[in-house]
Amino acid sequence: MNKQLSKISALVLLLGTTASAVAVAAKNVTTDAKLNGLKLAIVKNAPGSDEIIAGDYQLGLDKLASAKQDPISSYNQAMGMCVANIKLNDLSLADKACSFAVEQIDKVTGPSAQKLFLKSMAYSNRGIVRYLADDNVGALEDFTSALLVDNNTIVKNNLLTLKRISYGDNKGARYQTASVGE
């Protein structure tokens, strides 16, 4: 148990820098334009993460495929696969990877506040996948779940961005009021 606790402590130190790496380097213009300011989270310095951040998504996925498979590594791998597949526009694989990350973090032993933050990031990434798949209700549910798990700035900003996108653009719809029955 102490071994896993020390691993999560190292992971948390890496996540301290994740906030600055949350906005993954933009290489896929189509996906990035669709993100409209939503921020993806990835564990910095995990296998494949540097490549994904740099925009070499396939090399990042290749490195993730050969990573070890303990619960922390599985979480890191799932988060990396989620982000890389979002950037590669493979939303089905991205959704599966984000969902797996949500499940994997529950298997990690260690401080609960850190686990809750990590779980929140997985829900937030999955919310982005669902937004990109034109499932704004699913995206809203995931961002709300993320906030309920851990009320952090990244998720708050993603939720506000989704609301701005949904209500601001609203597929060109205009709302008007009218008097009825005069």
Q: Which residues of 150-165 are buried (b: 16+ CB within 10 A; e: fewer)?
A: bebebbeebbebbeeb
User: Which class is domain 41-169?
Assistant: mainly alpha
pLDDT at res. 174? 43
Distance CA 9, CA 157 (A): 26
pLDDT for 132? 95
pLDDT per residue rounded down to tens, the chain (182 residues): 334 433 433 343 333 333 333 333 333 435 677 888 899 999 988 889 999 999 999 999 999 888 777 778 889 999 999 999 999 999 999 999 999 999 999 888 888 899 999 999 999 999 999 999 999 999 999 999 999 999 999 999 999 999 998 887 544 444 443 445 54
The full DSSP string for 66-95 is TS--SHHHHHHHHHHHHHHHHHTT-HHHHH
> Whole-angstrom Cα distance, residue 179 to residue 97?
50
pLDDT for the residue 101: 95
Looking at residue 25, the DSSP 8-state letter turns out to be P
Give the start-to-end residue ranges of the domains of the chain: 41-169
DSSP per-residue string spanning 35-60: HTT------TTSTTHHHHHHT-HHHH
Predicted confidence at residue 179, as pLDDT, reads 44
Residue 29 has a pLDDT of 38
CA angle 120, 159, 150 (to 5 degrees): 25
